[in-house]
Chain A
Amino acid sequence: MTAKNSPKERRIILKHADDPNYSNRLGCYLREGGYEMLKKALKMKPEEIGAEVLKSGVRGRGGAGFPAGMKWKFLDRKSGKPIYLICNADESEPGTFKDRQIMYKDPHQLIEGMMIAAYAIQAKLAFIYIRAEFFEGARILERAIAEAKEKGFCGEKILGSDYSCDLVVHRGAGAYICGEETGLIESLEGKRPNPRIKPPFFPAVLGLYQCPTIVNNVETLCNVKHIIEMGGDEFAKIGKPNNTGTRIWCVSGQVKKPGYYEFECGALTLGEMIFDVCGGLLPGRSLKAVIPGGSSAKILRADERFVGKHKDGTDFDWGIEDVPLDFDGPMAAGSMSGSGGIIVMDDTVDIVEAMANINAFYAHESCGQCTPCREGCLWMKKITTRMCDGDAREEDPDMLLSIANQIEGRTICAFGEAAAWPTQSFIAKFRDEFVQKAKHSKRSKNSLQLI
């Protein structure tokens, strides 16, 4: 990490985001060549756009990393039912704040990406499901849509073509579960956002109003615009095979310069991100652990080694600083890149308190539909909170692990895994600290209160 040039950002999605001369108004977007790609796309056949997106290899930026082009291919086009497009702008994974930057600072990029995607899948209507905490974000989007409609970029007969598609901004109301795509769909239908059982039917077949529906993340939909601009093959050259394009990483926690940084996939390692790009840790601190992909991702311990084999058969042996920042890197290290939210913790952090903080989040956000999740999350919160209140017991780590293991795989949606993974990984990697808690119950004086 010494004497090396800091890796350079490559801003595609956030190209204009922090330009002081750039605003979120249409005039500004048009000056920078805005909506030219929509014009280009409308001259193509819808299936050609789908083919380019598939070729680009772009993977979903919301958390699961599923190839967007493949998702579109699953769409049931034979049913004759209307098709819907939904932009998932719920951005609720703790540690993630990238979609906010796009929507507040460059909303027309999202609208253009969405209208291209809507045309490609021949959607009848498109929605942006935005979290309710983004009050101004919803207003910015509403205004941008009105501007776009006036110029014929969305709504009736887009740019004089035969294709019409309206765009509706829909606000959530503060529930994390609405980021889960079937929970989001239920919420959009006006119901409690209890996720749906899948398989066998995914939203691409039975989604909104039981019609074929595509749900994509904000960043993913913005990428569609750039795929049309470059062509799928060119786009696929950015980043690495199976990890194409750029990603916006959101770094938070105890580094000198937290923030959002857009890099080509695999252009840098976790170590370079923390120590070069983010200016390193606070003075006098050392690295303790990193959660690489939003709070649901499994924690990585600073002194562990990650050893294994790549898909191509080559071996790897990484320290935490060597983990490549792309989709497959954190996955190979036993965690995931998720939504790109990197949470950094230094040696002052009481790991049991951090665990209690995360557990309180999941206990609050469980939708309550499945018993293992509803009850399990609450118990994990209660136990870890009690441990931090000075009443830790020796058997607590095993008890916590047993609860987490009974949630994982026993719920309708992936929230169960998202809530179980932190506990499982914290205890697997920091069991000593959980055991110690029973002996020294007090928080050390330079450690922050986290629960």
Chain B
Amino acid sequence: MWIEKYRPRSLDEVVNQKETVDGIKALLKTPATIPHFLFAGPPGTGKSTVALCVARQLMGESFRSLVLELNASDERGIGVVRERIKGFSQIIQTAPSGVQFGLVILDECDEMTRDAQTALRRIMETSSRTCRFILICNYQSGIIEPIQSRCSVFRFRRLEEAEAIEQLAKICKSEKIDAGPKVVERVFELSEGDLRRAINYLQVAATSTKGGKLDLTTLEKVMPEAQGELIREMLKLAVLGDFMKARDVMYELMGKHGVSGREIIRGANREVSRIPEATAERQAEIVRTLGECDFRLTQGANEDIQISAMLAQLSMIGRK
């Protein structure tokens, strides 16, 4: 995948997020005294990339064996924290580069349970001599205060259009794709500022072009059936009052595509403004319903019941 191929391999290659990267670089000048890091920012803005760059710089090329890379949203229970992280953090390692501590990269930390975070906080304290943490999250508010205060926080901002387009153009050039500025702009537009998604779009589009010429029509044609569209379809059906069909789409989303209830809500929140059937007044009501459902989902409830209840509510709004 191009997202791996064109992932910057050192901090110098990271072109955007200048202030953030400069700050990190300054800290890395004295590797022995670096703090724990907390990277926060929207998806596709380079948090994981920077974390990997830091790891590479500290540990050398063979960093993968010296770094514990965990995806907190996959492994977010307290058990993982207690067993894997604690075990890893207590081993004193020496990297070929001479660094005398281990490194734990925890991605999507805001998805971790509170209990797990509390356990993590303890470990960060007790193992500060043998281990450093890089925590990555989308929402800083999802991280408990005590952890935040133990880290240097770096915020990653959404990419400027110009920066992103520059990157995309660079990729086009090295892949020998002839894509006009309009096409690249459209790719960025579709990606909503998420560089990872933008690069993915570009790759998919490039795969289906013949002779390296990429135009707008090909681009629109090959777009993968995004779940966003299915979610919009579901919302639309619900707002039009067709509960049964909306529920069918919901089952398709959940059953076939493995989309979780919260992701449906999140997606629906994004799509609300794109439904012509929803007037401004209705939109407000829809968003309120979505919020209520989101709250109910956090109460440890059965997802398909909750989403169905939401759809029933929406279809009532639509009939008003």
A binds B: no
Where the two chains meet, the residues of A that have a C-beta atom closer than 8 Å to any C-beta of B are none
Where the two chains meet, the residues of B that have a C-beta atom closer than 8 Å to any C-beta of A are none
